[in-house]
Amino acid sequence: MQFTNVPTLVKALNLMIRKTALLTCLTTATLTFSMIDAACAAPPAVVAVNREIGLSVTGNFQDVIAKGNRQYNSTYQGYHYTDTYQSNSSYRDHATGWTPGFRADAQYMFDTSILKHLYVASSFTLDSGNINENYHYHETAIRSGSSPNHYGARDNVGFNRSGINVTGEIGKGFLLLNDRLLITPVVQGGYSAGGYDTYTAYGKGYVGLALHVDYAITSRLVIRGRAGWAQYLKVGTHYNSNGYYSDKGSRPEWSGDIALDYRMTDCFHLTGGVRYTYLNYGHANYFNSTSSSYGSAYSYSNNETAWRNGVQLRLGVAYQL
């Protein structure tokens, strides 16, 4: 009867145990790295573009039109004569031009234990440059017993216009179409100011709603859209009971964006787009009349309106967080 050499058997068992341990370690490491990769997998492209900080250069076009009509009528009754006077005037003020500037954006989309794809964002824009203003005025005055007199004036000047705008948004995204489409309704609020050679004059706050729509054309290219409504405070121009200007009420600004976001590397994106805005400043109407027992009387009326169209072109780079 033959017996196996004990030391040889021990060495064989020891080698087997080492191989088994090594295999177990390799298997565990492989599973661990697989879990880490799965946990750190890149988000869908439409989510990635909402986790960026970016800086863009902008070209800002503004077209502001204000116009109005005024009428004045008077009658004076003397002892032996009656004198009448009538005046009709109109004006149109048109300011338009392009100004350069920049825009900084920061946005982030995250998950909580309860909700997914929560969204927060902020944006700051600044622009300054020279634009043209064209002013036209015409008046016709008629006095009893005289021929009509015509007055008029035209002026075309350039001036510096500066402006800033700060916007904040909070919302929630909804993924659709196999994570290729992201719809994000948000609440927005902000502050806008600017004017002739100043960044701080005529400041107005606003609140409103907006809807973001992002669609991934490819894993690198995303087309982005936004439609917004912002209610500006104290924008409407009216007359008060004494006939003087008074800023009351609020006015809505409507905006629409279309943009592209292209992922050049894992972190850097090329961004660009165009935004259109429209704001109607409202109407100012005033009428007043008096009369006396001697037959003298006068009446005065004024009607004014103004609106603004704006376009912003931008091109920049963003860093994905």
Band (20; pLDDT cuts 50, 70, 90): low
Band (144; pLDDT cuts 50, 70, 90): confident
pTM for this entry: 0.79
3-state class (DSSP) for residue 80: coil
Model pLDDT, residue 36: 41
Model pLDDT, residue 282: 79
The long-range contacts involving 199-205, CB below 8 angstroms and separated by at least 24 positions, are 199/126, 199/128, 199/162, 199/163, 199/164, 204/232, 204/233, 204/234, 204/235, 205/232, 205/233
* 33 or 197, greater pLDDT: 197
pLDDT, averaged across the chain: 85
CB 132 within 8 A of CB 96: yes
Beta bridge partners of 301: 71, 287
| Location of structure tokens 């165009």 | 274
pLDDT, tens digit, for every residue of 253-311? 999 999 999 999 989 999 999 999 999 887 777 777 787 666 688 888 888 888 999 99
Please compute Rg for the chain using Cα positions: 35
Number of C-beta neighbours around residue 29 at 10 A: 10
- Is 247 a residue whose pLDDT tops 90? no
